[in-house]
Homo-oligomer: A and B are copies of this chain.
């Protein structure tokens, strides 16, 4: 994830998979499109995260063969993953509210002390 604000990539992956199973490359595109240039990610970041999510049981994976093109590894969010996503959504609401309150506050008089 490039840029100044870096959300946990695992949350974005789970959020993307909540809309339906996807392979890694499709996840990359989905995140880039939803971010409209503000959320970019490299493969060097995505695949390790995907493997860790699978290892922890938040997603399951299945190989889908294709003729003439490389095989796809299709990921599906698990029940455990959905619970984690729910938790991450709550956390996101709180964190983003906190960041907004700090970032969007108006300038006031001195108050150091």
Is B5 touching A11 in the complex (CB atoms < 8 A)?
A: yes
Which residues from chain B contact A105 at a C-beta distance below 8 Å? Answer: 15, 18-19
Of all chain B residues, the one with the shortest Cβ separation from A82 is B107
Range of interface residues on A (Cβ < 8 Å): 35 or more
Taken together as a complex, chains A and B put the C-alpha atoms of A4 and B74 apart, in Å, by 25
Q: Is the CB of A96 within 8 A of B5?
A: yes
Which of chain B's residues have a CB closer than 8 A to the CB of A112?
20-23, 26, 74
**In the complex, chain B residues whose CB is within 8 Å of the CB of A34:** 98, 101-102
CA distance A30 to B74 in the complex (A): 44
| 8 A Cβ contacts from A98-113 to B | 98-113
